[in-house]
Amino acid sequence: MRAHPVMSMDEARAWLAEVLPDTDARLRVESVDGNRVVCAAGPDGLERRRDGPLSGPAMFWAADLAGFVAVNVLLGPTPSMVLATSSISFLEPAEPGALRVAAEVVKIASRSAVVDARVTDHRGHLVAMATLHFALPSRAGRVALAAQAGAAT
């Protein structure tokens, strides 16, 4: 799927800071290219396991949030969408440090979006892959939300 984003990288950063104010220090949008968004997470705020590597929940959090950003970049602000189902495979332990997440929107339907996310650690090693399925409000609901947001500004 090749699509044209409705938000630039700077707009995505500003929107994310507005919707999730405490996230900016933990997740940063690095690039927006068509239906693909690359984000960097950490190293601060990423939980570690007792034996040293980053925790699975920390990697899942980064993949989930990057997927959320990727869908919003294509549709415009849709904060009421929710993660409906997901599958993640942890491929190897992630060394402590920053993570990079490449989230690609592979399908957008009228009420759902599917994202593939690839998580790499600071060494560039692929440490996790996830498929995220987001439930979207109806198109009429998205139009109403956009109109509300426009009226508020």
Residue 50 vs residue 106, higher pLDDT: 106
The single-letter DSSP state of residue 46 is: -
- Residue 22: predicted pLDDT: 76
- Residue 53: predicted pLDDT: 83
Q: What is the pLDDT of residues 66-115, one digit of tens each?
A: 999 999 999 998 878 999 999 999 999 888 888 999 999 999 998 999 99
Question: How far is 147 from 9, CA to CA, in rounded Å?
Answer: 23
- Residue 97: predicted pLDDT: 86
Contacts of residue 125, Cβ cutoff 8 Å, sequence gap at least 6: 92, 94, 95
Please say whether the beta carbons of 146 and 77 come within 8 A: yes
- Residue 126: predicted pLDDT: 97
The 3-state DSSP class for residue 94 equals: coil
End-to-end C-alpha distance for the chain, whole angstroms: 32
Q: What is the pLDDT of residues 107-150, one digit of tens each?
A: 999 899 999 999 999 999 999 999 999 999 876 565 665 566 56
pTM of the model: 0.86
Residue 153 vs residue 101, higher pLDDT: 101
| Helix (H) or strand (E) run with residue 127 in it | strand 126-135
